[in-house]
Structure 1
Amino acid sequence: MDALVLTVFLFLIPVFFLLTRRKKSSERLPPGSLGLPIIGQSLGFLGALRANTAEKWLERRIAKYGPVSKMSLFGKPTVFIHGQAANKFVFNNDGTSFTSQQPESTRLILGDRNILELSGEDHKRVRSALMLFLKPESLKRYVGKMDEEIRNHLEMHWHGKQKITVLPLMKNLTFNIICSLLFGVERGPRRDELIECFRHMIEGIWSVPVNLPFTRYNRSLKASKKVQKMLKELVCEKRVQLEQKTTSPLQDLITCLLNIRNIDNEEELTESEILHNIMVVMIAGYDTSSVVITFLLRLLANEPAIHAAVLQEQEEIARSKSSGEFLRWEDLSKMKYTWRVTMEILRTTPPVFGGMRTAIKDTEYGGFLIPKGWQVFWAIPMTHNDGSIFPEPSNFDPSRFENQASVPPYSFVAFGGGSRICPGYEFARIEILVGIHYMVTQFTWKLCADNKFSRVPMPVPTQGLPIEIMPRKPMN
């Protein structure tokens, strides 16, 4: 009998310990609810994004649960954190406590070997490869080609028109720039088919990952396969051209990636790494720059004083050029005020609302446990609209960025931060500045719709921002 009691007692000790441990772990989790399986708070969050009330949606969570709370987004348990300290915590622990695994819907559409997914040495290797093309020293040689693409766009879609819709045209422009500069795909049926598949693909990136017929997610997965097939054919063609020495290793991003070997061990990028990172670059260059240019045009229509100052700066540059001469890298450095206006647009209307990381080990923040495998979510507007960081945040004030060193670290995060700061920053800067230069010096415009916008998840102004355009008189 004593032996039986002892056996039962010894059996119950680990059970008791396990239950106690689970209870303590549960007590250390942030407050909040995970909601329904798979769906969680995804539909509520996406609905708030579309209604442009996502920041208020998060503020209500903060008021209810405090600065750290749990929820479920896109099929995974998630901890929401916010503020300057939270941004610093996430960016400084990247690769040690967190990895940049994206939601399942994003990962299956874009592939698992893209720079958003990789960590450690793999991330450094792929990022270094991309930066060989995207660094300023390399991009200088492509300013003229980007200038030519933008002039062609305005000639085809603006000149001779009385009314245009800005956002779809800007997406058309940025995709054509990507095809030309990054992929070496000229105008024609191939480019048209690629952009059509690409548009279907990106529709489901931020969606509930339910792979059933007729769902947005299902359509995006099918489109992703088509895009990858087309890109694979393109990569094969570029590889043959390089082997036959009929193209330059710096002709475009694809030839650059194909020609790169790791300095230490001469390891080439895998085909999956090339394909998946091309797709990420496509999305980054297509969506973000087109949104920023659209909201710049919207702002300039609403703010005559800012428009006048931008126009004056750009006309001075235009006067320094001979007829038909392309802009050069040196001209972009003179567009200081225009870039400060752009930075303030990125503060008030960041194209990307927030970001995700995945905990690779149990991690503590704010006195709470973030379990291994859970997502961490933070939202960019939470610091961009913080009055203690940016006084009177509802006011549009480009002077905030006259001295960028005065902006507190980890507060302006439109391009991310830490080791994962956007590698395409300089590419986007060139694209935006060259585009605005020709738009403000060649046209005037006025809005044909209200100033409202929604997020899907990128900001989309009412009706895509229809405007009436008038050609400007030639400068004396």
Structure 2
Amino acid sequence: MTIFLTTLLLLIPLPLLLLLLRISPTSSTSKSNRIPLPPGSLGIPILGQSLALLRSMRANTAEKWIEDRIRKYGPISKLSLFGRPTVFVYGQAANKVIFGNDGGGALGHQPPQSLKMILGERNMSELSGSDHKRVRKALVSFLKPESLKRYVGKMDAEVRKHIEMHWEGKEKVSVMIKGVWSVPLNLPFTPLNRSLRESARMQSMVKELLLKKKIELEQNGASPHQDLVTYLLSMHHLKDDEEKMMTEEEIVHNVIAIMFAGHDNISVLLTFIIRLLATEPSVYASVLQEQEEIAKGKHAGEPLSWEDLVKMKYTWRVALETLRIVPPIFGGFRKTLKDIEYEGYLIPKGWQIFWVSAMTHMDSSIFPEPSKFDPSRFENQASIPPYCFVSFGGGPRICPGIEFAKYETLVAIHYLVTKFNWKLCADNTFTRDFMPTPNQGLPLQISPRVLS
């Protein structure tokens, strides 16, 4: 072990090594020098508390691990995660600082280094300032509700195709979906190494698709609105508007990021909704009633429309409550762009700030009886204090795909509850690796349902 660590340290660039060895940055002002660092320990070099956090996530005890830190150190403490000195903060006020200061010059986005390695350095989560605004504007213009209306029929067709292939005519189905939160060491046989190999394969596929779509757009006059790749390529060629242009590298990296978020996040949400509906009969009955009313108004084989999705208010509240209790993203990071004073402590420039969504989601002062599943909490979303429900993030970096996730989830749930009955053939335990994953998968005993 000693030889391994010595060899590893020799391979690390000197500036990073100094950071990992916890040589404290010097503040530019005497005032900052007088402000103490938060309590806590940075742990051993490189690893810090990374392995302890990852172990607790996989054991589904991460919330308890965080609560133990809070009891020991209070609402703000220092530690080291994924190779970087870190400050953990929690609560509504902390969330407001984290989400409300993006673009304000004090904080920048700081995903784990492993995520940057997997998705590519030009994906939106890695960009800041004008680059972030430019790329976000391009993606949001495609993902806004007004644009997504034209894709409801395509979503409907894809969901029905999936159900026909994997659900209909079967008695059992098994539904379920690693390296994102990893110590950023690309060693053979590690989850990060496997993820990087898959990332390289995906980038090659997207580049081939990019070339095909470019030919269709330039030679065949394809509609820019037929899909995301074509849309972004069309903006790439708007030479008269530099603000809208995206490089081909940015298109590749952001398409992969959207594929990752659009597939995994929605898969997790649907997985836990299916589990919930199998164990909460009153919730299931209300969802079924809402969806059957919509189905009765459709002709045989007629796809769902935008107007149908607007009617699915209770079903979406069920989805939001599922996201509150089991958020797909456990937490995230921001990077300090300058020295910050918070709660009487100094967070030095270059450190990262760690936030955890469950700390406000499961706070009884914000959500009474937080362990109880209660979709009525979201009947009036304006009554929920700001920066408390953060499954989609918040502020200038709030997830641009909220509406896409909403419509895809609603379409899927509609066909599942109107076409099938199911019984869960596993327990309710799950792990976080890196997203919530049922320990036994999601085996279901299913039978066809006849519309009443």
For normalisation by structure 2, the TM-score amounts to: 0.91
**What SS is found at the alignment partner of 1:259?**
helix
Deviation, structure 1 residue 437: 0.3
State the superposition RMSD in angstroms.
Answer: 1.8
Match of 2:299 among 297, 305, 322: 322
Q: What is the letter of the counterpart of residue 415 of structure 2?
A: Y
Instruction: Report the CA distance shift for 1:451/1:424 in structure 2 as closer, same or farther (over 3 A).
Output: same
1:368 aligned partner: 345
Instruction: Report the CA distance shift for 1:404/1:23 in structure 2 as closer, same or farther (over 3 A).
Output: closer
Indicate yes or no: 2:213 matched with 1:238: yes
Q: C-alpha deviations, 1:301-328, integer Å up to 9, x for none? A: 1011110110000000000001110000
Counterpart CA distance in 2 for 1:398 and 1:314 is 16
**What SS is found at the alignment partner of 1:463?**
coil
Deviation, structure 1 residue 20: 13
Counterpart CA distance in 1 for 2:28 and 2:348 is 17
In 2, are the aligned partners of 1:69 and 1:80 still within 8 Å (CA)? yes
Instruction: Report the CA distance shift for 1:411/1:19 in structure 2 as closer, same or farther (over 3 A).
Output: closer
Match of 1:56 among 59, 64, 67: 64
Q: What is the letter of the counterpart of residue 111 of structure 2?
A: Q
Indicate yes or no: 2:356 matched with 1:379: yes
1:225 aligned partner: 200
Deviation, structure 1 residue 142: 0.7
Q: C-alpha deviations, 1:368-425, integer Å up to 9, x for none? A: 1111111111000000000000011111111101111101101011111001111000
Counterpart CA distance in 1 for 2:33 and 2:72 is 21
Q: What is the letter of the counterpart of residue 218 of structure 1?
A: N
Deviation, structure 1 residue 212: 1.9
Q: C-alpha deviations, 1:198-251, integer Å up to 9, x for none? A: xxxxx2121111122222222222322222122111111111111103421111
Instruction: Report the CA distance shift for 1:219/1:319 in structure 2 as closer, same or farther (over 3 A).
Output: same
In 1, are the aligned partners of 2:140 and 2:400 still within 8 Å (CA)? yes
1:453 aligned partner: 430
Indicate yes or no: 2:413 matched with 1:417: no
Deviation, structure 1 residue 120: 1.3
Structure 1's consecutive aligned runs of 4 or more residues displaced over 6 angstroms after TM superposition are 18-24
**What SS is found at the alignment partner of 1:315?**
helix
1:98 aligned partner: 107
**What SS is found at the alignment partner of 1:464?**
coil
Counterpart CA distance in 1 for 2:146 and 2:290 is 25
Indicate yes or no: 2:303 matched with 1:295: no
**What SS is found at the alignment partner of 2:440?**
helix
Deviation, structure 1 residue 21: 8.2
Counterpart CA distance in 1 for 2:140 and 2:299 is 33
Counterpart CA distance in 1 for 2:34 and 2:443 is 52
1:177 aligned partner: none
1:185 aligned partner: none
Counterpart CA distance in 2 for 1:216 and 1:402 is 41
Q: What is the letter of the counterpart of residue 166 of structure 2?
A: H
Q: What is the letter of the counterpart of residue 434 of structure 1?
A: V
Counterpart CA distance in 2 for 1:355 and 1:26 is 29
Counterpart CA distance in 2 for 1:263 and 1:342 is 42
Higher gyration radius (CA): 1
- Residue identity over aligned pairs, in percent, reads 63
Q: What is the letter of the counterpart of residue 357 of structure 1?
A: R
In 2, are the aligned partners of 1:125 and 1:262 still within 8 Å (CA)? no
Instruction: Report the CA distance shift for 1:365/1:241 in structure 2 as closer, same or farther (over 3 A).
Output: same
Q: C-alpha deviations, 1:408-460, integer Å up to 9, x for none? A: 10101111100111100011001100000000001011111111111111111
Match of 2:138 among 112, 129, 135: 129
In 1, are the aligned partners of 2:134 and 2:245 still within 8 Å (CA)? no
2:75 aligned partner: 67
Match of 1:45 among 50, 53, 58: 53
Deviation, structure 1 residue 464: 1.1
Q: What is the letter of the counterpart of residue 165 of structure 2?
A: M
Instruction: Report the CA distance shift for 1:20/1:238 in structure 2 as closer, same or farther (over 3 A).
Output: closer
Indicate yes or no: 2:167 matched with 1:158: yes
2:189 aligned partner: 214
Q: C-alpha deviations, 1:98-128, integer Å up to 9, x for none? A: 1113221111221111110111111111011
Query: 331-340 or 246-255: which moved more?
Result: 246-255
Deviation, structure 1 residue 166: 2.0
In 2, are the aligned partners of 1:99 and 1:117 still within 8 Å (CA)? no
Match of 1:269 among 243, 246, 253: 246
Counterpart CA distance in 2 for 1:151 and 1:264 is 40
Deviation, structure 1 residue 266: 5.9
1:12 aligned partner: none
Query: What runs of 5+ residues in structure 1 fail to find an aligned partner?
Result: 1-17, 169-202
Deviation, structure 1 residue 268: 2.1
Counterpart CA distance in 1 for 2:118 and 2:276 is 34
In 1, are the aligned partners of 2:340 and 2:349 still within 8 Å (CA)? yes
Instruction: Report the CA distance shift for 1:93/1:320 in structure 2 as closer, same or farther (over 3 A).
Output: same
Q: Where does 1:422-433 land on structure 2 (aligned, <5 Å)?
A: 422-433=399-410
Deviation, structure 1 residue 19: 11
Match of 1:116 among 103, 106, 125: 125
Deviation, structure 1 residue 159: 0.9
1:15 aligned partner: none
Indicate yes or no: 2:40 matched with 1:32: yes
Instruction: Report the CA distance shift for 1:92/1:266 in structure 2 as closer, same or farther (over 3 A).
Output: closer
Query: What runs of 5+ residues in structure 2 fail to find an aligned partner?
Result: 1-25
In 2, are the aligned partners of 1:446 and 1:469 still within 8 Å (CA)? yes
In 1, are the aligned partners of 2:292 and 2:451 still within 8 Å (CA)? no
Instruction: Report the CA distance shift for 1:46/1:472 in structure 2 as closer, same or farther (over 3 A).
Output: same
Deviation, structure 1 residue 69: 0.5
For normalisation by structure 1, the TM-score amounts to: 0.86
Counterpart CA distance in 2 for 1:47 and 1:26 is 36
